């Protein structure tokens, strides 16, 4: 999470949406940079509005605008799947080594979810039901639009490095698993499809 005091702007860090590269490009300009531990870096909108927004409002006398990225839901799960195939996770409960992407997605759709598939939901992170959500959500797949927004608000030029790239892997789904995912991830698909460009 990056907080820009003068611009009254907060960039929430949706997991697996290039947040490491964004932090590398913007951290020096931020008034507050919350990068560690990951649970703090990836503070969801509900926790932001409950704990951090009231403090910012009380100390600044103003509302802060929130902004974040959202990745296409299948691509987002594919990124998690590839990320968890890393050798340093081999043999651990989060590892997806030796597991097909289809099996990973079926695990995500399970209740309860196996440990390797517990990665949350972008819809819950960005727009929890009945709670305040993020003011501006941009599609990860249209990064230039997000960068242009930040450049305008922060009055600077941005160049994003390529960091924290997950290793390649086969990420195909059977038609049955695609249908199952559409059912279980309906809120994510609906939110993503509501975003322009």
Computed over every residue of the chain, the mean pLDDT equals 96
pLDDT greater at residue 197 or residue 136: 136
pLDDT of residue 183 exceeding 80: yes
Mean of pLDDT values over 136-159: 96
Kind and range of the H or E run holding 11: strand 9-11
pLDDT of residue 124 exceeding 70: yes
Closest Cα to residue 93, out of 120, 117, 116? Answer: 116
Our CA dihedral for 31, 3, 57, 140, rounded to 10 degrees, sits at: 160
Q: pTM of the predicted model, to two decimals?
A: 0.95
Report which DSSP code applies to 90: T
pLDDT of residue 142 exceeding 70: yes
Mean of pLDDT values over 65-77: 98
Q: What letters, b where the CB count within 10 A reaches 16 and e where it falls short, cover 87-100? A: eeeeeeeebbeebb
pLDDT in tens, 185-195: 999 999 999 99
pLDDT of residue 102 exceeding 80: yes
Given the candidates 1.10.3720.10, 3.30.70.20, 3.40.50.620, 3.40.50.300, the CATH classification of the domain at 2-194 is: 3.40.50.300
Give the model's confidence band at 197: pLDDT under 50 very low, under 70 low, under 90 confident, else very high. low
Q: What are phi and psi of 190, to 5 degrees?
A: -65, -45
Closest Cα to residue 121, out of 146, 113, 143? Answer: 113
Mean of pLDDT values over 159-165: 82
Residue 163 is predicted with a pLDDT of: 77
Give the model's confidence band at 166: pLDDT under 50 very low, under 70 low, under 90 confident, else very high. confident
Residue 165 is predicted with a pLDDT of: 76
Give the model's confidence band at 93: pLDDT under 50 very low, under 70 low, under 90 confident, else very high. very high
Residue 178 is predicted with a pLDDT of: 98
pLDDT in tens, 5-29: 999 999 999 999 999 999 999 999 9
Mean of pLDDT values over 70-86: 97
What is the C-alpha separation between 120 and 118, in angstroms, rounded? Answer: 6
Give the model's confidence band at 164: pLDDT under 50 very low, under 70 low, under 90 confident, else very high. confident
């Amino acid at each position: 999470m990056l907080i820009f005091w003068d611009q009254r702007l907060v960039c929430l860090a949706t997991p697996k949406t290039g947040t490491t590269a964004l932090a590398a490009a913007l951290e020096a300009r931020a008034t507050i940079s919350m990068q560690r531990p990951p649970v703090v870096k990836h503070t969801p909108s509900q926790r932001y509005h409950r704990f951090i927004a009231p403090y910012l409002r009380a100390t600044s006398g103003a509302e802060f605008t929130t902004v974040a990225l959202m990745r296409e839901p299948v691509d987002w799960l594919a990124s998690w799947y590839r990320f968890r195939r890393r050798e340093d996770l081999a043999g651990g409960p989060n590892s997806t080594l030796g597991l097909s992407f289809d099996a990973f997605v079926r695990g995500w759709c399970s209740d309860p979810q196996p440990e390797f598939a517990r990665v949350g939901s972008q819809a819950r992170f960005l727009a929890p039901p009945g709670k305040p959500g993020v003011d501006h959500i941009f599609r990860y797949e249209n990064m230039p639009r997000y960068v242009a927004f930040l450049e305008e608000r922060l009055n600077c030029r941005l160049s994003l490095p390529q960091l924290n790239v997950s290793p390649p892997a086969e990420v195909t789904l059977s038609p049955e698993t695609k249908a199952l995912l559409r059912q279980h991830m309906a809120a994510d698909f609906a939110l993503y499809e509501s975003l322009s460009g």
